[in-house]
Amino acid sequence: MPEARKTFDEQLQELRNDVIRAAAVVGEAITAATQALLGDLGVVDQVIADDAIVDDLNHSMEMRAFEIMALQQPTAVDLRTLLSILRIVHELELSGDLMVTTAKAARRLYPKELPPRVRGLIDRMGAQATVQLRVAVDAFADADTTKAVALPDMDDVMDDLQKEMFRAIFSQGAPDEDALQLAVQLALIGRYYERLADHAVQIGAWVHFMVTGELPGPESPSALEMATSDEPRPTA
């Protein structure tokens, strides 16, 4: 193997490894943010700190990917991999941002007591988001389109959980001012988890592109649409 090619393959593998590393941090953030909503406010600062790691990895990977494309002249398959990495790490960064917003929401809710049904739904939504992210990252790591194309069907579970969350909120009866504020916060939280699952689906779409060369179709939300919609950003 020519030395230049060996260096290219090593650089590409480092990028792959960093995608998996960033996904692991986001996965931990999902668990921690869910714990925060269920009462453990001590993990909120860790979610915020870990998000900085994902942001730094994203910036580093972007710069290295651009350098590889400019200097190494990758072939079609390798170029698809680089483009997919750039899109996937963006989805991970947005996912991390969502968990920061979710963890901070736990502070706004404290010390309100969440109804048992809502607590159970939050726990299930956190678990579902974790599973979908893990499948998406496994699909990337293994270049496995079977796992990638399974994600939209898995996402139906999260959509159903979000609908159940809305039903749980509205079943509380006529709210007073405090109850109304709680309902709004819980509706937003349900939306954050649903959006998190959408990012996992989009990662799967980019894995499919990486392997097959087929761009994500109109049936999956594009990264641009998701980034320019009402995507929440971390707030102070």
Total structural domains within the chain: 1
Task: Tell me if 132 sits within 8 A of 197, measured CB to CB.
Answer: yes
- Token pair 């799967």 is at which residue? 204
- pLDDT in the model for residue 114: 93
Residue 212 falls within a domain, yes or no?
yes
Rg over CA atoms, the chain: 19
**76: which 2 tokens?**
């079609």
pTM, two decimal places: 0.89
- pLDDT in the model for residue 192: 98
pLDDT of 48-77, one tens digit each? 999 999 999 999 999 999 999 999 889 999
- pLDDT in the model for residue 129: 98
Residue 31 falls within a domain, yes or no?
yes
- The CATH number of whichever domain residue 14 belongs to comes to 1.20.58.220
Average pLDDT over residues 162-171: 93
pLDDT surpassing 90 at residue 138: yes
Residue 232 falls within a domain, yes or no?
no
Residue 235 falls within a domain, yes or no?
no
Residue 193 falls within a domain, yes or no?
yes
Give the list of residues 6+ apart from residue 24 with CB closer than 8 angstroms, or none.
Answer: none
Q: Name the residue range of residue 201's domain.
A: 3-227
- pLDDT in the model for residue 222: 42
**DSSP 8-state assignment for residue 216:** P
Q: Higher model confidence: residue 59 or residue 3?
A: 59
- pLDDT in the model for residue 170: 85
- pLDDT in the model for residue 186: 95
Instruction: Select from 159, 231, 227, 162 the least CA-distant residue to 190.
Output: 162
Residue 236 falls within a domain, yes or no?
no
Residue 26 falls within a domain, yes or no?
yes
pLDDT of 180-222, one tens digit each? 889 999 999 999 999 999 999 999 999 999 999 998 866 554 4
Task: Tell me if 100 sits within 8 A of 47, measured CB to CB.
Answer: yes
Provide the sign of the torsion angle of the four alpha carbons 226, 228, 231, 235, taken in this order.
Answer: positive
Mean pLDDT (the chain) is: 90
